[in-house]
Amino acid sequence: MNDQQHYDILLKRGTVIDPAHGLHQVMDVALKDGKVAAFSPDPISAGAEHSLEVAGKLVVPGLIDLHTHAYKDVSVFGVEMDELCPRTGVTTAIDTGSAGHLSYRGLERYVIEPSQTRILAYVNLSGVGLPSLRGELINPDYIDPAECDRCVL
């Protein structure tokens, strides 16, 4: 067996920006099993299943989108997170109130649980969530803080 390290993906000569590690420089980055296995300002010569020249591109840790609407086909603003997020470098998306206490379990079951993208969600104060452009709080009768509280506990 070959003793040389073998990676799944090798990103070559991209500008790595990782504030947590104080990095902002051109580097090679090797990935194995979906995780960073090696990085170096010098070329990584190990074999890789896929090698991509990314000079002039940014290589960053997974990004967090702090304001999304993930409840596609229920909220007028909803988008398919697993289509959007991988293209934009987002690994975690936060749904900001697409569902209220009346529809939150559906958001969990049909969107959050099957999603490849990590989705966190706020519960809208309005029980109906954000279904239309008219606004979720247009009718104050939809506001039920006690039910909202029970939903998140």
Give me the pLDDT at residue 4, please. Answer: 63
Q: How many CB atoms lie within 10 A of CB 17?
A: 13
Give me the pLDDT at residue 10, please. Answer: 96
**Domains observed in the chain:** 6-59 (2.30.40.10), 63-152 (no CATH)
Half-sphere exposure of 53 (CA within 13 A, CB side): 0
3-state secondary structure of 110: helix
**Residue 103: phi, psi to the nearest 5?**
-125, 5
Give me the pLDDT at residue 1, please. Answer: 36
Residue type, 36: V
Give me the pLDDT at residue 153, please. Answer: 78
Task: Tokens for 42, please give them.
Answer: 């010098």
Mean pLDDT by 10 residues, the chain (153 residues): 74 95 95 93 92 96 96 94 95 96 96 98 93 83 91 83
Q: What is the pTM of this model?
A: 0.79
Give me the pLDDT at residue 133, please. Answer: 82
Give the position of tokens 């939809």: 142
Give me the pLDDT at residue 152, please. Answer: 83
